[in-house]
Structure 1
């Protein structure tokens, strides 16, 4: 059974940055739903490439079956990992239902790491991170933030109600954020 930590927060909250540090220091494999989708979009012969491209450009959510299949394949490929950080997923109730349908009984969801950060800070980070992502522009970011507010934040609230959320303020310098994240993992692994 795979250990899974969902890493959620608004676009630009530092999910990828923190996941990289957790991977390097704690041995969890970082699986970014967005990166997996972007890679699938670019893969020659992908039957989902155009569909994924349309959703990414529109800031909308890719069908859950596609995302879950990509995540599961990535976990199988790294089956000896300490655990998996699933960055940017689930993004809504449909994602969560689809995840449970496809992955139920195959994973141990340890907790949800919620990186909270004011949206204006997040947008500024995205516009200046220089990663060349097609969705790091003002128009796409507005849609992504709207999707986050309407779809993802309610799923975070759901996880909060069932005691799974570990919130860390990610507006601060990365070193401070990471120190708090390490404490969250240490507490979770003591149980």
Structure 2
């Protein structure tokens, strides 16, 4: 009975597969939105202000950052929770090397980057945004920054503790061999 339950639990990891497919669909939507913005800007290029152009470019950068985040979560999540990808040739260098903590740190870094771009966009339109909203945007951004820094710090502490424990164990093993 125990083996059957364990097999069922193990097989149930495939239930997350449709979610990864859904993320692929979201990537298609982001691509469409990206090119919609690009095609929107072409006819307006000679009439749009420099700051307007920069705002559109910042929107494009936002989309690229979110797209990269989606790819990273899809690939790493699939490899960590479902199955290793057997891709020959053009395999991305980071594939198969990211554990859950690495994904978490990359996601939090990407969120900080996306928030930074959004905050820059807000600063470029300060005349349209109330001071109170700007303060809240800054507070929220700083919360993301502190959270990402805290998670990275905790991850670094955990890795150093693991390395320290591993070194201590190897020293003890070497002493016993002598």
TM-score higher than 0.5: no
Work out which structure has the larger RCO, using CA pairs closer than 8 Å and 6 or more positions apart in sequence.
1
TM (norm. structure 1) is: 0.24
Question: Would you tell me which structure has more helix in proportion to its own residues?
Answer: 2
TM (norm. structure 2) is: 0.25
